[in-house]
Amino acid sequence: MEGLWEYNYLVRVKTSITLPKQLLSRLDRVDKNRSALLERAAIAYLTQLERQARDRKDIEIINRNAERLNREAMDTLEYQQLP
């Protein structure tokens, strides 16, 4: 399955986008290969969005269970108290 992922990753689709001239100038100052730069930027941005979505889901789960988790923590602390 890894070989299929590598093949699909290497396949490129030509596309056309319209960007402001100033943005293109800034991109060119960073890397003359716009496609590679935009690909890296898109991957980084999408990774960030996916991480934020995952974090939001984790926080929702924690918040849903906060009362029970806090009770368990208090029980543990009371159990550990020295006589």
What does the alpha-carbon distance between residue 37 and residue 13 come to, in Å, rounded to a whole number? 16
If one counts the domains in the chain, the total is 1
Residue 61 lies in a domain: yes
Largest CA distance in the chain: 73
Q: Could you tell me the two tokens for 82?
A: 């020295």
Residue 59 lies in a domain: yes
pLDDT in tens, 35-54: 999 999 999 999 999 999 99
Q: Which domain holds residue 77?
A: 33-83
Residue 79 lies in a domain: yes
> What pLDDT score was predicted for residue 79?
80
* pLDDT range class, residue 4, cuts 50, 70, 90: low
Q: Which has the higher per-residue pLDDT, 2 or 52? A: 52
Residue 39 lies in a domain: yes
